[in-house]
Amino acid sequence: MKYGKLIKSVAAFVGVASLGLAFNVARPAQASANKISAATSSELKQKGTLTIGLEGTFAPYSYRKDGKLTGFEVELGKDIAKQMGLKAKFVPTKWDGLIEGVNTGKYDIVLNNVTVTKERQAKFGFSTPYIYSHFALISKKGSGLNTLKDIKGVKIASGTGTDNSVVAKKFGAKVVPSSEFSTSLDMVRQGRVKGTINSMSAWYAYKKDGKNVKGLQAKDVSKDEKPAKISALMAKKNTDLKKDVNKALKQLRNDGTLTKLSKKYVGGDITK
């Protein structure tokens, strides 16, 4: 969940990604919405494809395995397209230029762990959320850190400029810069900090990858800070496409596909 690329992370886990964990945070949308030329739903049906922009380097959401694109958002994109009677076509693009592709019609939607904010909603169209990125407060077991109210005046490791650091500062923590999720956990183990804030998805993925979490605990602190909403981004004027994507997502949620994909790639359900 990054602000102004205040996550590049996950991812971590959303890290926290590779568990070098570039996926520790959801991505912020950039750019202004102008000269929108994205295809309408009727035009998409004529060409038979749903073109999807993503980075392709953001595990576990979109990355290459044996030379082929895979990941949570890659499979999700294929399922959305299938629900719409289309085939998915992916266009890997560097993050710095990713959002502009929606404005120019380079692709129809972006699936890249993009966080929904009021500011972005004024410029772009967003689907209903398919991920809810819950904040996690991670510390040694018995540390006494159970809620964000407990971190006031406490040293907390966090990536510089991430929404995790914003939350830590909001609750009065002394933020100690950390380059990635695994480094933050090492700092906790070594006693250099008392805890770290990231996403539950980062924690799930770290454990799923077989990493050592002995002696550590992760507390879901959603009661203190609401989860970030992650959605498909598209041209704001393309309301028909938005309706069709939302219809597809509703079906995928109802039939359990979203939960299945989340557990497969992240190691836990981050879709609620």
pLDDT for the residue 26: 53
Q: Which domains does the chain have, with CATH numbers?
A: 18-265 (3.40.190.10)
Taking residues 18-46, report their average pLDDT: 53
CB neighbour list of residue 173: distance below 8 Å, 6 or more residues apart: 151, 152, 153, 154, 155, 156, 197
Range scoring the smallest mean pLDDT among 29-43, 54-68, 117-131: 29-43
Residue range 176-197, pLDDT digits in tens: 999 889 999 999 999 999 999 9
Residue 198: name the closest of 2, 54, 6 by CA: 2
Q: Which long-range contacts (CB under 8 A, 24 or more apart) does 249-256 make?
A: 249/80, 249/127, 249/128, 249/130, 250/128, 251/83, 252/76, 252/79, 252/80, 252/83, 252/130, 253/130
Taking residues 121-136, report their average pLDDT: 95
Residue range 1-30, pLDDT digits in tens: 543 333 334 444 344 434 343 344 455 544
Taking residues 163-180, report their average pLDDT: 94
Indicate the pairing of strand 124-126 with strand 63-65.
unpaired
Provide the β-strand partners of residue 115: 230
pLDDT for the residue 37: 53
DSSP states of 217-265 as a string? EEEE-TTTSPPEEE--EEETT-HHHHHHHHHHHHHHHHTTHHHHHHHHH
Q: Which residue has the higher pLDDT, 10 or 103?
A: 103
User: Among the ranges 30-34, 38-42, 239-243, which has the highest mean pLDDT value?
Assistant: 239-243
Is there a contact between 151 and 173 (Cβ–Cβ < 8 Å)? yes
pLDDT for the residue 55: 93
Q: Which residue has the higher pLDDT, 199 or 221?
A: 221
Residue 157 has pLDDT above 90, yes or no: yes
User: Among the ranges 63-67, 73-77, 196-200, 234-238, which has the highest mean pLDDT value?
Assistant: 73-77
pLDDT for the residue 89: 97
Average pLDDT, the chain: 86
155-167 burial by CB neighbour count: b if 16+ within 10 A, else e? Answer: bbbbbebbbbbbb
Alpha-carbon separation of residue 104 from 37, 52, 100, 203 (angstroms): 6, 13, 7, 36
Three-state DSSP at 32 gives coil
Q: Looking up tokens 């939607």, which residue turns up?
A: 109
Residue 123 has pLDDT above 70, yes or no: yes
Range scoring the smallest mean pLDDT among 13-17, 27-31, 68-72, 104-108: 13-17
Burial class (CB in 10 A: 0-12, 13-18, 19+), 139: buried
Q: Looking up tokens 């995928």, which residue turns up?
A: 252
Indicate the pairing of strand 87-92 with strand 49-54.
parallel
Distance between CA atoms of residues 199 and 134, nearest Å: 6
Q: Looking up tokens 């929108």, which residue turns up?
A: 36
Rg of the Cα atoms in the chain: 18
Q: What is the pTM of this model?
A: 0.75
199-218 burial by CB neighbour count: b if 16+ within 10 A, else e? Answer: bbbbbbbbbbeeeeeeebbb
Provide the β-strand partners of residue 104: none
Q: Which residue has the higher pLDDT, 271 or 117?
A: 271
